[in-house]
Amino acid sequence: MGAEIIDGKAFAARVRADVAGHVARLKSDHGLTPGLAVVLVGTDPASEVYVRNKGIQTREAGMNSYEHKLPAETAQADLLALIARLNADPAVHGILVQLPLPRHMDSDAIINAIDPAKDVDGFHILNVGLLGTGQRAMVPCTPLGCLMMLRDRLGDLSGLNAVVVGRSNIVGKPMAQLLLRESCTVTIAHSRTRDLADICRRADILVAAVGRPRMIPGDWIKPGARVIDVGINRIAEDGRNRLVGDVDFASAVEVAGAITPVPGGVGPMTIACLLANTLTACCRAAGLAEPE
């Protein structure tokens, strides 16, 4: 029996439509338009694609999109000055600095210069701390999207064994925090983990965020488990370039209860959650009730 394929593209379209509905009501009832500023330093091709897509989807949701493209050699002080201006601009409710930044910049210092209330990526240490202590935080977009898909499928997650493979600040750690908040029993695995296969086999929920093509085969997966594949890996195969996840989809789909494909799974949810976070930031700034 094959797993249910979780259609992240369709799910993300629903989230974006929901956000657009809220934005329209904010405009008509309160004369407010949420604004998202995206800052790109340099010309990394993948980052340029992400930033372009973010701009398009922000405008499609009825929000204002402000794009700031700076040359790779921009001085850190100039980037900090731009962030200070965006922090002070009441038309800007969300600020996203596209990572990775050029090597001469201190990413932590840049991220922590963003007003935490406008930190729609949820990477500011204040938001990390709020999430870790179970308080109202801006939640990083990729793990938030993963959680939304899991809750949509499973409803109550409490008591389930969740294994997160990967411990980055962007995906693995916040994912684990979110699952803990849902009362899962959480294991975080990483490159030094022993017996990774056995740990994965105990997972009712398996989240793979590693960046290694197809490293998790079907026989590491508990029958019926929900598998969320965050990995995006570009490989050359059969004479063409392909995107594959961290999970070996062909074998995993035979065992899992549900699984996200790559592409078309987690990826589209990330930008949808960015829009949702920008809407949330706008409502909080205006003292209005947050959308559910």
Binding residues for NADP(+), as ranges, are 166-168, 232
Pick 103 or 192: Cβ nearer ligand NDP: 192
Q: Which is nearer to ligand NDP, 171 or 178 (CB)?
A: 171
Closest CA to 218 of 259, 171, 273, 190: 259
Beta strands in the chain (DSSP E): 4-5, 35-41, 64-70, 94-97, 161-165, 185-189, 205-208, 226-229, 233-237, 240-244, 258-259
Contacts of 267 (CB under 8 A, 6+ apart): 8, 232
CA distance 260 to 266: 7
State the nearest-atom distance from the C-beta of 172 to ligand NDP, in Å.
Answer: 5
Q: Which is nearer to ligand NDP, 189 or 227 (CB)?
A: 189
- Rounded to whole angstroms, the Cα distance separating 70 from 198 reads 47
Determine the Cα–Cα distance for residues 270 and 273; give it in Å rounded to an integer. 5
Catalytic residue list contains 98: yes
Using the minimum distance from each CB to ligand NDP, give the nearer residue, 100 or 159: 100
Choice among 115, 119, 121, 248 that is catalytic: 121
Give least dist CB 169 to ligand NDP, A: 8
Closest to ligand NDP by CB, 62 or 145: 145
Question: Which residue of the chain is nearest ligand NDP when measured via CB?
Answer: 168
Annotation says 54 is catalytic: yes
**Minimum distance from residue 122 beta carbon to ligand NDP (Å):** 12
Task: Fill in the amino acid letter for 191.
Answer: S
Residues lying near ligand NDP in the complex (CB under 6 A) are found at 142, 165-168, 170-172, 189-193, 196, 209-212, 230-233, 266-267, 270
Three-state SS at 117 = helix
CB of 211 to ligand NDP, least distance (A): 3
Query: How far apart (Å, rounded) are the C-alpha atoms in residues 42 and 105?
Result: 12
Task: Tell me how far the alpha carbon of residue 263 is from its chain's centroid.
Answer: 15
Least separation in angstroms between CB 287 and ligand NDP: 31
Alpha helices, DSSP H only, in 36-192? 45-60, 76-88, 107-111, 125-132, 141-154, 172-181
Residues serving a catalytic function are 54, 98, 121
